[in-house]
Structure 1
């Protein structure tokens, strides 16, 4: 039996570390990419703070546990992305998307949280399978374009399932052969990071909505600071990259409330 880890495993790690250095340099030199990472970090920080708090009931604890899973997805996805594994990074985003849609379902039908939690395998497949959740949301929202299904299919075909299309994320955008192992490619880095940021904005908004009537609206200074930081980062990002107006008047109101709370505690 070998007494040491094979040298090739260390060489692989060294290659990943070198690619991560290139990735970080590319991100820090591009304001757009850096904005995406700032949004992802703010969302993860928000989840980390509220998922660790005492839940008011089992429904909220369910949301917290799903939040912990999403946090891990973002952490793993970002790590794989910056180390040059673009297909693997994108595959983690499908899991995040499934949870985003599940949270959207719960947001529109809160009683479903308990039903999902207590369901057996057959019930989960009959009611909460990803395709069933997307159909409910599209019907509820009156959407007929099937955009949720198209987005989900993209992650399935290009990342999660073994398909011919999936090789796109395993070869340089400039063309050439599929690369076995990690490699650096600015185009793939941008593409996957953009999708990660789009999901981060949705994650933060939905996760936050399940706590609006508890900690952060209960004169909790630290909770309000964490919530407001994510809200501002998300609003400014959405205004810049999605064209959605950021409600600065509301932010000013919340900032004043925060200052008043701090003054009362001083």
Structure 2
């Protein structure tokens, strides 16, 4: 006997689809397609990297992490367009943590094997999110702790039940919190900006793991470079490279 979903679930799904249409209208009306374009190409690079034939177990780890970002981008974007901003931001924190780890491996490939075989104590000591951020700050000579601040922001607004997290349940600043999905122009624009910024970083780092001589990646790599340049020119005038 076929089981029908409860009517409230069906109504909720219909509302989510209506909100998705509203979100896409906001994107069209405000010329925000560059965000979607860079996310799509970062996901394409993750898929291309997945297809690269290799027996290198370390590179296979990178491929798996790239696949993780693919699924996370798809989930975060779907949630944002359907009105679940807080949940979308929670998934973005996962992307942020993953791209930091990938960046660590990019600079020190020998760490991949070490990470693969690390026990819980070794993970806490060297590969926990805070240790990875500290290692990247040291590598790039950064003292402002921007990685930590951004990670903390995602944590407070989305990952943890804090008083600040209630802000993402309010369509208007100072307004009442609402239950269920909602779409508000300003919130959506901020959400897409963050997704786009993460996509620039993810695509750049994943692309660095794909050998330059491998033909199947060339078209995607070129498209990403062009889209990244367009994205930076539009949203970060004067900048030609993403901020590490």
> So what's the TM-score if we normalise by structure 1?
0.86
Alignment match, 1:224? 218
State how 1:1-266 maps to structure 2 within 5 Å: 3-31=3-31, 33-211=32-210, 214=211, 216-218=212-214, 220=215, 222-242=216-236, 243-245=238-240
Whole-angstrom CA distance in 1 between matches of 2:13 and 2:230? 37
Cα displacement (A) at 1:55: 2.5
The structure showing larger relative contact order (alpha-carbon pairs under 8 Å, at least 6 residues apart) is: 2
What secondary structure does 2:121 align onto? helix
Cα displacement (A) at 1:174: 4.8
Change (3 A) 1:201 1:3: closer
Cα displacement (A) at 1:240: 2.5
What secondary structure does 2:40 align onto? helix
Cα displacement (A) at 1:56: 4.8
Q: Is the 8 A contact 2:167 2:173 kept in 1?
A: no
Whole-angstrom CA distance in 2 between matches of 1:169 and 1:52? 38
Q: What CA deviation, in whole Å up to 9, does each residue of 1:72-129 have, x standing for no partner?
A: 0000000000000000000001000001111111122111011111112221111100
Report how many aligned residue pairs link the two structures.
240
Q: What CA deviation, in whole Å up to 9, does each residue of 1:201-242 have, x standing for no partner?
A: 00011111111xx3x424x1x321111111111122123222
Q: What CA deviation, in whole Å up to 9, does each residue of 1:171-204 have, x standing for no partner?
A: 1135421111001111111111101111100001
Q: Is the 8 A contact 1:173 1:187 kept in 2?
A: no
Runs of 4+ in 1 over 4 A off after TM superposition: none
What RMSD, in angstroms, separates the aligned Cα atoms of the two structures? 1.7
> So what's the TM-score if we normalise by structure 2?
0.94
Q: Is the 8 A contact 1:170 1:178 kept in 2?
A: yes
Q: Is the 8 A contact 2:49 2:206 kept in 1?
A: no
Unmatched 5+ stretches in structure 1: 247-266
What secondary structure does 1:64 align onto? helix
Alignment match, 1:260? none
